[in-house]
Structure formats: C-alpha cells, structure tokens
Chains A and B, each alone.
Chain A
C-alpha cells in the first residue's frame, strides 16, 4: 500500500509537469513556433479518445467478456481508415465558416438556428456528464486501491461529507487547469495550442504506463504471452471466456452495434471534434493520423487480455474488481513504484479527457446556450457596452466549473452503481444521435431545421428512455417497475425490449431504436418542407465546401452595412485591439490602405460575421450582425437564383473557354491556310516570272534578227538565210511554249478535257515509235522496241498518253549521242499495272538534277547539249500519268544513260484477263 500523501504528491507533481508542457506550448504558439503543428502531435492528441475508461475499463471488460472489449477500438480504426474523407470535409467546413463546436456546426448548417444549437448542447451536456463522472470515479477508485483505503475499490475515499471528499478537489483542480489553458483568452479560431500539447503529452504518458504494466504482468509475473494463455486455457472458466462463443454471445448484431457506436463516437464526441477538427492546424496532418491513431489504439490494446487473464488467474474470480487489475497486480507483487506509475497513467487518461471535454462542452454552453439567452434580452443586444470579452470568458469559465461539478454530482449520486464501461457506452450512444444531422448536413441538401430538430429530439428521447432511465432505475433512484412491465404497464413499452424487440444487449437495443427514430424523423420531417433560403444557402455552403471558393458566401447577401457599426460590434466580443488587427489584415488582403476605406459590401459583412462566429457561435453572430446592418432577407427562390446564376456563370465561362479554344484553333488553321496561299502565290509569281523569261528569250532573238535584216539589206545571202531560219525556229519555240503553258494551266486547274477510251498500249507505244522514227534517222540513232505478245486494255485519254510517250522518246532522242545513240522502249505487264520504260545511252543525269527535272522550266543538260525545249514537257507528262493513277519516275547515273519509266494501273476487272485484249 502507498500512503495517501505520496499518491497526492505524485498527482500534483504530474499536474505541474502538465502545466509546464501546456505553458511551453502556449509560449511557443505566441512566438509563432508551434510545437503542435506536426502530424505526430496531432495523432497523439486524437488519442484523447482513450480515457480512463480504456485504461482501467478495457481490462474489466476483457475479464468479463473476453475479446468483447475490442469493438470499442475496432470502430475508431475503421472510422479513421474509411471515413477520413468525412473528417476532412468537417475540418474544411469548420475552418471556412469558423465553426468551433458540434452544436455550432449543426446550428449553422440548418440556417443558423439557436434552437438547434441549444438542443445539441443539452444533449452533449447530458451525455457527457456521466462520462466525466466516470473519469472522476476512475481517479478516486484508483486512489483508494493504491492507498488501501477500501480494498473492494467500489466506494472510494469513504468520505463522510462532500467537503471531505478528495474527488471534489480533484474536480476543482481540473477545472482550474482547464480554465487556465482552455479559457484564458478568447480566440476567434478557438484554438488552444498549450492544451493540445498537454493532451498529446498525456497520451504518451498513458500509453507508456500501460505498456510498462502490461510488460510487467506478461514477462515478470508470468513468463510471456504463451504462459498466460496456456494457463488460461487450462482453466475451464477462462477458456470459455477466450472462446469466440463468448465473444459472439451478444450476437453479431451486438458486435456490429458496438463497432458502429465506436465509429460514430470517434467522429462526433465533443472532445474528438475539438481535437480533430477545431484544433487541427493543417489538413495534411489528418492523412498521417489515419494510420498513426489506429496504430496507437493497437499498441494500447496489446496487453489488455494478458492483464485481464493474469489478474483473473492470480486473484481468482470475484475477489478483486477487474477494473483495478492495472493497479492491484503490481501492488500484489510489492511493486509500489510500478503501481504509482500505473496510477499516474490512469490519472493522465482521465485528466486529458476531462480537460478537452469540458472545454468543448463549455464552448457549446457559452455560444449556443447562454449567448442566445443573453441576446434574447433586448437590453443586452442594444447595450453599448464596448467590450464583452470579459463577459464571454466569464461564461466559459463558469461553464467549465459547472460541467465538472455536474460530473462530480453524478459521480456522487450514481457512480457506484455501474461499471466503467457501461457508463461510457451510455455517453457514446448519446453522441451517436448527432450522426444523422451531421452527416446528412454534409452530404444532403434537403435537410431542414425542423428535420434536424425532430431527429435529434426523437433520438434523444428514445436514448433517454431506453438507456439513461434504466441505468438510473438500476441504480435504485427510480422505481424499477417500468423496466419490467413497461411504462403505464404497457408491455411493448418496456425500455429494454421496446416493441417486443428482445435478444439484444441494452446498448445495441437502444442504439437501434434511437438511431431508427432519429433518422426516420430527420428524413421524413425534412422532406415535408422545402428548405428556406437561409437553409438552402447553408446547405450549399456545407455540401459543396470543396468545390466553392471561400468568397462565395458573400454572394448570398443583400443589404447595406457600415464599417463604423461592424468594427465596434466585433470589438465588443473580441476586444478592441484584436478587432482592429483583424480588420486591418482584412483591409490589406483587399488591397485597401485603411479600414475606413473598406467597401461595406457583402464580403465585409461576411468577414465580420465569421470572426464573431468563432467567439460566440454562428447563430449568435448572425443575430448580432443583423442588428447593425440593414439587410433584406433572401427567399429560397432568390438563393436558388443566385446559385443558378453562379452555375450559369460557370457554364458560361466554360462555354467561353471552349469558344476561345475553338477560335484559337480556327486562327491557327487560318494562319496555315494563309501560309499555303502565300506559298501558292509565291509559286505563281515564280511561274509567271519563268514564263516571262521563257517568252522573252525567243522574242529577243526574233526581234534582234528581224531588226538587223531590216536595217541592213546588204547582208549577204548566207547570213540572211541563217537568220531567217533562226527566226522561224524561235517562233516555233514560242508557239510550243504558249501551247504547253496553256496545257499545263488547264491540267493544273482541273479544266483539262479527258476523252477516255479503251486503249491498247501495244498499239499506242508502237504508234509513238513510228512517229519519232524520222527524228532518230536524222540523228543517226537507233530505236529499239520491246513489246509483250499481248497486253490488257486500259481506259485513258489516248492523245494524252501519246503526248507522254512522245515527250519521253523525243527527250531520249535529244540526249543520245549522234552516231552510237540507242533508245530502247519496252512495255511490260505487271500485276495490276502496265509499265513502260524508255532507256537511253545518253550522258545521264547528275544526282542533284534527278529531283528537279520534273519541276517546271528546269531543263536537263548544259548549255551545249541543251535541247530545244520548253521545260514543261516532263511536268506535264507526270501530271498526265498521275491523273490516271500512275507514277512517272527516272533512274539514272551520270555517264550511264537514263531510264524514264511510268506505270499505269489496270482496271480491276481487266487485271487478270489478258484475253480481254484479244476481243
């Protein structure tokens, strides 16, 4: 046993350390070097979920129900991994609209309703008071176990009267601590860095203490996990406890209900909302916490079963309260220091919970219960008291003390009747009632104020009737008769078998009926009425928080405001200096130098209201702001119009974007087209310039010789004849040129006429050769002809193809050497096409010339060998061949002659029928 003095001293020493941590945290926050702005601290502060109930109660629960303690920790793990998106949305909404409690959240969502905020606050207070009592009970029973003042550990301190009761002083000390760190000054964001630091520190302490005790029991008292479980299985009673049968005795429904309950609690418990949402400094921390926090839960649960089994094996059943195994096991083994450490761990779990819970609840009480009442008093609303911050703080501090004293009262009255876990679960079930209004509010636009009110009320009433009242009755404060026979003796109204629903444990039963009633009323009543303008506004702001910018709220307002009214109003609740700073920074954001230059627009009103909301709740802020600004209430239609307008604007801008993209594309196309036109223009210019040159050259000779002949009749006959010959040949050249230019222009513009007939290429090639025979004879060159026996007919313009053949053959004739010149013309049938090759043994074509000879006015050869040509023959021939779907090309190497070839496709039906040529 330890002396009371040692335990009290250790507790105070621990509280002092906590003070130091919190003070340091606040100091650092003021210096702007936050120690809580990291995901680890955030995750640790979430572990405020593990209260003294976890610390002592899990072991008790495991001792009576085996793994039945697990759902309470499975729930949060599931909640964190499955619904962190929900938490993220809550954080975003709360940050955007300066929401500082669950009551504020629900009140704000359903049209900034005072009534709703008040109801939620009452539910929270009623639900949390037993929970706080539970913590006080844990501390006091821990104290009595440690000091041996009461071996059974059931009735602590054996206090004769309340002023002798140490638990009261524990409660008051905690109230002092909470006031100091939770309500020292007003903050619009309602953040308490020092407190969060202290909570995170406490989470570490309780985890370490529990792990040390667990390790001690497992490895020092026994010889490891194997040993404990082997022994447990050897004991038939304990073996039964460990079998899954025991675990499922409550049915899968029970497991499901408890897991669901824990899931909802970790999100909607006021203290969880406080640390998860309000105290969150960075949304990114949530991601890390989604696995850190479950990891923490896993660690703190590892030793629950070993300690429970160890205690049962050691003490036997029914001698020592399993809730105190954590303390009594070390004590029984004479490890007083360990026992003290275990107590400090439990103490830290309890204090952490009490501090955060009371802060959260006091915020609600102040903002959603007291402020609305004060604002209801016309004199207060109109009073010109310039600074109400003192009043606000006073209310908060008072609320903290009152809540803690209520907890103490509950502990004194009902505490001893119930095991720790049962009290905790009653609170959990109360908190679960927030779920429909909260989740519905975040994801469904249709929820209305009446719906939320009806749902919360129904859930709360059913909860009270099926869970709260029976617990009070079982404590002996009420007649048990209604428990067994139902209200007014009506059997179907029995609180624990409502409407004859049996076979469930009381928690699952209460949860089922309360949530059913809650959800049904919420949905049905909501559907009964179309949301009002205010409700629709808030619904949109909440549901679409991720897609709407922060400026959007400002658009849902119409009226006029004066900065001279707004600033003093904010100053009344937040202090003059702080209000001035806020407005100054807002002015800077808006790019205005002085506060007075701020435009009194919707944005300014929204800003003032949001700042106020942080301090006095959104509903009260609404009331206060509307008392100083003239505004016209917006109807649903108008809100819808604004929303519609906004979405139209979005759609419009989207359309504009698309149009501008289309325009850009069109511009690019136009530019490209313009480039093409310019290129064509340039080509046309080049062509014209070339034609001009080609026309002027023969004209030059013709004019020169004609003038010379005209001027000088004395020219001798030989020269005269020669000059006249030149004139004639240049005239022919000119004629040829004009014809070919016209020809080319016609083909290129598509105006050429094509007279297609069936053509026998053998006949056509033969004819071309005959026509040019004279040319070859003149040059002394040889023309060889190589024709197949038969060739299929094809359909084309005979004259045009002849033109091509003549062009190729005469070109060859021009280039072959005079005496040894040989030109070979060959026709072959290939699959699907006919091929003609015209091969010469001329000088060949230089590689760099191969590409250009098909361009207009580019003639092959040099000045000595340049034939009389227009430079249009080959381009025209190529155009003709390509017109009939064929191809014309040249192969040549300098000094080895050249081969001009073309192919023409055969019509499909004629491709395999050379016979057709015969017919």
Chain B
C-alpha cells in the first residue's frame, strides 16, 4: 500500500514541484495551502509523512508541528520541515518542537527524495 504524504506550503510553484516529485516516487499525495488546512488534513488523513513549510498563513509550520506532536493519536506522523529561513535557531526550534527532520530551501530534489524514503523506511 502506498504511503500517504501531505504537502503543506503556500507557494503554489513549490507545491507543484513537490507534488510531482512525490507522485513520481509512487506516494499518495495530498496538499494543504495554509497551517489550518494542514492540521485539518493531518487529523483526517493521518498521512505517513508531512512536508511542512514553516512560513504559512494562519498557522506557522512550528505551530502545526507542535499540535501534531502533542496529539497521541498522531504519533505515527513523520514531519519533515522545509524552510526558506536557514538560520540555525530555526532548525533548532523545529527539532525541539518534535520535527523528525529539517531541510532548507532551496533543496536538492535528490536529497529530499532520499530523506523522505529513509524516513518512511524507518518504520
């Protein structure tokens, strides 16, 4: 059964590229365009992995991450955070909030795919 991946980002072009990449890898993909929608979809669809942008309207990636990780029912959801803000503090904050991995934009598509694959293989 194909793994489910949620892409949460407000930049349409980035969503398009991520969707294309993930689908090509054979994952089942859904999309959220803001923080609220991301939380809603994670609760409803319980994806195996979320590609989570930090700078989103309504709710930031950090807030989404915190909500997901504090919910016991969603323990199985892996979170890979993506951010255009590459500062160390941002990385540390994301990891402290329970994100499973962190990548800065612009990212290498190969690395991203590798990382997603390995994160999903861990279980």
Contacts and interface: CB of A to CB of B under 8 A. Distances in A.
A699 interface: yes
A704 B84 contact: no
Interface in B1-53: 10-14, 16-18, 20-21, 24, 33-34
B84 A702 contact: no
A692 interface: yes
B34 A693 contact: no
Contact of A719 (B11, B20, B55): B20
Interface in B80-104: 84-87, 104
Nearest to A710: B109
Contacts of A696: 84-86, 104-106
B56 to A, nearest CB: 8
Contacts of A719: 20
A678 to B, nearest CB: 18
A699 B85 contact: no
B110 interface: yes
A79 to B, nearest CB: 84
B71 interface: no
A693, A699, A704, A730: residue with the most chain B Cβ atoms closer than 10 Å: A704
A89 to B, nearest CB: 73
A378 interface: no
Interface in A855-876: 862-864, 866
Given A705-B17, A726-B16, A700 B33 contact: no
Contacts of B104: 696
B75 interface: no
Interface string A724-752: 00100010000000000000000000000
A542 B104 CA distance: 86
A711 interface: yes
A693 B108 CA distance: 17
A contact face: mostly helix, strand, loop, or mixed: helix
Contacts of B86: 692, 696
B34 A700 contact: no
Contacts of B108: 703, 707
B34 A697 contact: no
B21 A701 contact: no
Contacts of A704: 14, 17-18, 21, 106-107, 109
A692 B105 CA distance: 10
A703 B106 contact: yes
A711 B84 CA distance: 23
A704 B11 CA distance: 13
A744 to B, nearest CB: 19
Contacts of B57: 862-863
Nearest to B17: A704
B7 to A, nearest CB: 12
Contacts, number: 72
A692 B83 CA distance: 11
Nearest to B87: A689
Interface residues of B, number: 26
A585 B84 CA distance: 80
B55 A700 contact: no
A699 B106 contact: yes
B21 A708 contact: yes
A723 B14 CA distance: 11
Nearest to B34: A863
B33 A693 contact: no
A700 B107 contact: yes
Given A692-B85, A863-B10, A700 B109 contact: no
B12 to A, nearest CB: 8
Nearest to A689: B85
A540 to B, nearest CB: 70
B19 to A, nearest CB: 11
Nearest to A727: B13
A707, A723, A730: residue with the most chain B Cβ atoms closer than 10 Å: A707
B13 A701 contact: yes
Contacts of A701: 11, 13-14, 17
Contacts of A730: 13
Nearest to B24: A712
Contacts of A864: 33
A708 B109 CA distance: 7
Contacts of A692: 84-86
Interface in A682-704: 689, 692-694, 696-704
B116 to A, nearest CB: 14
Nearest to B105: A700
B106 A702 contact: yes
Contacts of A698: 13
A866 B9 CA distance: 14
A863 B36 CA distance: 12
A711 B109 contact: yes
A693, A708, A863: residue with the most chain B Cβ atoms closer than 10 Å: A863
A726 B105 contact: no
Contacts of B24: 712
Interface string A52-88: 0000000000000000000000000000000000000
Nearest to A706: B109
A702 B105 CA distance: 11
Nearest to A729: B13
A711 to B, nearest CB: 7
A863 B109 contact: no
A700 B84 contact: yes
Contacts of B106: 696, 699-700, 702-704
A97 to B, nearest CB: 74
A68 B12 CA distance: 116
Contacts of B21: 704, 708
Contact of A699 (B87, B105, B110): B105
A292 B120 CA distance: 105
Contacts of A863: 10, 12, 33-34, 57
A701 B106 CA distance: 8
Interface in A831-850: none
Contacts of B11: 697, 700-701
A863 B12 CA distance: 8
B14 A700 contact: yes
Nearest to A690: B85
A693 B84 contact: yes
A862 B106 CA distance: 23
Contacts of B107: 700, 703-704
A799 to B, nearest CB: 31
Nearest to B21: A708
Nearest to A861: B57
Contacts of B14: 697, 700-701, 704
30 contacts: A689-B87, A692-B86, A693-B84, A693-B85, A696-B104, A697-B11, A697-B14, A697-B84, A699-B105, A699-B106, A700-B14, A700-B17, A700-B84, A700-B106, A701-B13, A701-B14, A702-B106, A703-B109, A704-B14, A704-B106, A704-B109, A708-B109, A712-B24, A719-B20, A726-B17, A863-B10, A863-B33, A863-B34, A864-B33, A866-B10
A-B CB proximity, top 5 nearest: A696-B84, A704-B17, A700-B105, A701-B13, A700-B106
Interface of A: 689, 692-694, 696-705, 707-708, 711-712, 719, 723, 726, 730, 862-864, 866
Given A696-B84, A696-B85, A711-B110, 12 more contacts: A689-B85, A696-B104, A697-B14, A698-B13, A699-B105, A701-B11, A701-B17, A703-B109, A704-B17, A708-B109, A723-B17, A730-B13
